[in-house]
Structure 1
Amino acid sequence: MTEPHNELGESNTANEPMAGAKAEPTAPDYQHSRSKSNATTDKATMKKAIIALVIFIVLGVIIYGLYKSAQQPQSLTLQGQMQMQQTSIAAKVPGRLAQILVTEGDRVEVGQQLIEMDSPEINAKINQAQAGKQAAQSQLDKAESGARPQEIAQAKAAWQANKAASDLAKSTYERIDRLYKEGLMSRQKRDEAYTQYLANSDKTEAARLQYDLATEGARSEDIAAARAQVAQVDAKLEEARVAQKEANLKSPISGIVDDVIVNAGEVIGQGVPILTLVNPDDQWVVLNVTENHLGQFAIGQQFTGTIPALSSTEAPFTKDFTVYATSTLSDFATWRPTNNDDGFDVRTFEIKARPIDPDDRIRSGMSVLVQIDPTLTTSAAE
């Protein structure tokens, strides 16, 4: 027999089951594709659910945080700066620095010598003033002591000699005058005797005055002039000595040497700063506070500040301060609203407060952090 053929002439025996054999059922291909698609859909749905859950949790945390922030507002931190009383020490006289007796960080007391200056000009002025004082004092001593005993005795002898001559001339004139009246002496002789008598009388008076002058001493005007001369020279000597003290400059205050500006051996002029001193007992903090928080810094009010420079992780360094001064800053520190709905202008004030208990460890320029309550504001700034 011949096998059946299809239209193409191919035998169908390969596709037909063998006679007597049972055909096995097979799953169609579309059933496998459907199972794979269902599994992918389940995974995507689960992934979306997880993402939605995460987003829901994050939103819940954010909403809770915002709610807690609204219920309990955070404090506001202000940053201030410590300052100290600083004094610049300058030379009042020019000269060359021979030695600087202090270094930065040293504590000095009032009257302690800071520098030693080499100034030959000042020494020369002192010597000149001392010599002038000796000369003026000698003139004063002479005026106050008057003439020496020998000079007084000499003046007295001259007066007595002239007095004797005057007495003799008087007696001679009286005799000649009697003889003239009796007609025994000419008028010429009488006039000559009279002239001699007057001359001797004048000499006697001059000698007496000289003797009185020697006895009384110098006039009060001369003594006053001599004393004034001594006082003038004393003033010049004192001026030179003061210049010498100023050259060896001493500290006018008690404090700590903050900065030494010059070096030994340099020539400095009058008024040139040499070093600066700070007074650790006179310290204060400066804060800039807007007027809406100014009520928390009234004069006399106390607050607590933290100094990071002296703090540690375990123990922050805090100080209690008392407000003692408040002043407004310039217009550049004023916040101005852009429209009327933004509120009013807010000015900035400078607050100064002193520590209740000053600390030597605090230095000028250290930061001070102050926590304030932001809810305590004035109605004008709201």
Structure 2
Amino acid sequence: MKNSVLTSLALASVLTLAGCKESKQERLIVGKTRKEVVSFSPKLTGRILKIYVEEGQSVKVGDTLAMLDVPEVSAKIAQAKGATSSARAQVQLAKNGASPDQLRQLKAKQNGLQEQFKYAQKSFGRAKNMYRDSLLSPQNYDEYFAKYQGAKAQLDAVNAELHDVQLGTRYEKIEMAQGQQNQAMGALQEANVAYSERYVIATNEMEIETISLNKGELATAGYPLFTGYIPETSYFRFTIPESKIAKYQKGMSVKMVVNYSNKEFAGKIVSIKQLAKYADITTAFPDYEPEEAIYEIKVVPVNPNLTKDILVNSNVTLK
């Protein structure tokens, strides 16, 4: 009799457990709120002099976020200015040509060499007559001839030099000087642009979440100094097991509820992709079999204004 009672109780327990298992409710699909992330970094390495914003603040395009101290750029600007002034003077010198004093010096030199040439020419004429009458040795004749040729060559040289100066500077020299000036001006422009980069400027609207450095610290080029979210870019991601993914299609309209505020809003599925890692799931207690593939669906709100104030990483239930 006792054994029969125990058997009946065991059977009743099994049936009760089976009934509970069959009546177990399907777990809700819970996802996470996300926003597009943006970060601003300095283009130059410098020490932070001032930070103009705070965490949690909203900034607009063109707002100044921070100012850096970059003394190396100031030195480059001074060097570039000196090179530009020198190159500009070279261009002006090439365009102006010889000065009046240089012209007077060349003309005086020409007059002196003309007198020397006339004297050498006369001396050579007398030597030629004496040599013809056998009154001058060949050695002396050659000496007079060499002096005549030397004086003539010197006069020809100063005449060519004076003619070149009177014609003006060659076009190639002007172009060369102009090229050096353009190069110097480019270096100055580059230095000025680098100097303007000491300010970190917002290039997008952003809700600042993190400021990674403080005043006085060294900010390296490319290091994310300000990180935050782009307003009105809220979207939602849910992880769905393979056994349930057939219920959802790209372009489908769905309803969602924000867990902490119980606000309901509509959304649209814009993408479905397979997840390769268990750590990428959004549900704390996933309800799927180990052999099942896991998919992520991305949902964007139909009306972004209704979701712009939802906290990032908050839980959202897919209805």
TM-score bucket (shorter structure): 0.7 to 0.9
1:141 pairs with 2:92: yes
Could you tell me how far 1:225 is from its partner in structure 2?
5.0
**Amino acid paired to 2:44:** V
Matches of residues 1-382 of structure 1 in structure 2 within 5 Å?
77-174=28-125, 176-178=127-129, 180-181=131-132, 183=133, 185-188=135-138, 190-217=141-168, 222-223=173-174, 225-311=176-262, 316-318=263-265, 320-330=266-276, 332=278, 336=289, 345-359=291-305, 360-371=308-319
Structure 1 residue identity aligned to 2:71: P
- Count of residue correspondences: 291
Q: Secondary structure at the match of 2:237?
A: strand
Matched residue SS, 1:368: strand
Tell me the distance in 2 between the aligned counterparts of 1:133 and 1:112.
33
Shift of 1:158: 2.2
| Conserved 8 A contact 1:97-1:266 | yes
CA shift for structure 1 position 202: 0.6
The answer to whether the 8 Å contact 1:116/1:247 transfers is yes
Q: Which runs of 5+ in 2 are unaligned?
A: 1-15
- Cα distance in 2 for residues equivalent to 1:217 and 1:297: 84
Secondary structure at 2:310 match in 1: coil
Q: Please provide the CA RMSD for this pair.
A: 3.4
Task: Name the SS of the counterpart of 2:312 in structure 1.
Answer: coil
Change (3 A) 1:124 1:167: same
Compared CA separation, residues 370 and 166, structure 1 to 2 (3 A)? same
Give the Å deviation of 1:130: 1.9
Q: 1:144 to 1:82 in 2, by over 3 A?
A: farther
Q: What is the identity, as a one-letter code, of the residue corresponding to 1:248?
A: Y
Deviation (angstroms), 1:141: 2.8
Q: Secondary structure at the match of 1:280?
A: coil
**Could you tell me how far 1:207 is from its partner in structure 2?**
0.6
In the alignment, the residues of structure 2 paired with residue 209 and residue 309 of structure 1 have an alpha-carbon distance, to the nearest angstrom, of: 96
Contact 2:255 2:264 (C-alpha < 8 Å) held by counterparts: no
Q: What is the DSSP-based 3-state SS (H/G/I as helix, E as strand, rest coil) of the residue aligned with 1:133? A: helix
Question: Greater RCO between the two (CA within 8 Å, min separation 6)?
Answer: 2
Q: Give the aligned residue type for 2:51.
A: I
Contact 1:112 1:251 in 2 (8 A): yes
CA contact (8 A) 1:280 1:358 kept: no
TM-score (norm. length: structure 1): 0.64
> Which amino acid in 2 is paired with 1:252?
T
Q: Is the partner of 2:142 in helix, strand or coil?
A: helix
The answer to whether the 8 A contact 1:81-1:368 is kept is yes
> What residue identity is the alignment partner of 2:163?
D
Do the aligned residues in 2 keep the contact of 1:82 with 1:368 (CA within 8 Å)?
yes
Q: Tell me which amino acid in the other structure corresponds to 2:274.
A: T
| Residues 113/172 of structure 1: CA separation in 2 closer, same or farther (3 Å cut) | same
Compute the displacement of 1:250 (Å): 0.7
Q: CA deviation at 1:237?
A: 2.9
CA distance in 2 between counterparts of 1:299 and 1:126 reads 56
Distance 2:229 2:302 in 1: 19
Percent identity of paired positions between Structure 1 and Structure 2 = 24
CA contact (8 A) 1:308 1:317 kept: no
Q: Distance in 1 between matches of 2:168 and 2:221?
A: 48
Distance 2:311 2:148 in 1: 99
Q: 1:138 to 1:102 in 2, by over 3 A?
A: same
